[in-house]
Amino acid sequence: MVKRTLIAIAVIALVAATVQAASPNIKIDTSNSSDNKKTDLWPWQYVALDLCEIPVYMEVGMYVQLKDCHKREIKLKQVDCGDLGHTNKKWPCYKDCDQVELRANFDVKVGVSKSINGMIKSSWAGFEGGDTITGSGSWQKLTVCVEAAEVEIWESAPGDKVDVGSITITVKPQ
Domain definitions of the chain by residue range:
64-173
pLDDT at residue 6, as a whole number: 56
Quote the pLDDT of residue 156.
82
Q: Facing residues of 48 across strands? A: none
Neighbouring CB atoms inside 10 A of 149's CB total: 22
Q: Which pLDDT value is given to residue 5?
A: 59
Instruction: Find the Cα–Cα–Cα–Cα dihedral 131, 138, 169, 160, rounded to 10°.
Output: -100
The pLDDT value recorded for residue 41 is 61
**Domain 64-173 falls under CATH 1.10.3470:** no
How confident is the model at residue 120, as a pLDDT? 87
For strands 108-116 and 40-41, give the pairing.
Answer: unpaired
**pLDDT of res. 67:** 95
Long-range pairs of 156-165 with CB within 8 A, sequence gap ≥ 24: 161/75, 162/119, 163/117, 164/76, 164/116, 164/117, 164/119, 164/120, 165/114, 165/115, 165/116, 165/117, 165/120, 165/123
Consecutive H or E run containing 9: helix 2-22
Q: What is the pLDDT along the chain (174 residues), one digit of tens a residue?
A: 656 655 656 556 555 544 444 455 555 555 555 555 555 566 778 889 999 999 999 999 999 999 999 999 999 999 988 888 766 678 889 999 999 999 999 999 999 999 988 888 888 999 999 999 999 999 999 999 999 998 888 888 888 888 999 999 999 998
Within 10 angstroms of residue 148's Cβ, the number of other Cβ atoms is 26
Radius of gyration of the chain (CA): 39
pLDDT for the residue numbered 32: 56
Is-above-0.75 flag for pTM? no
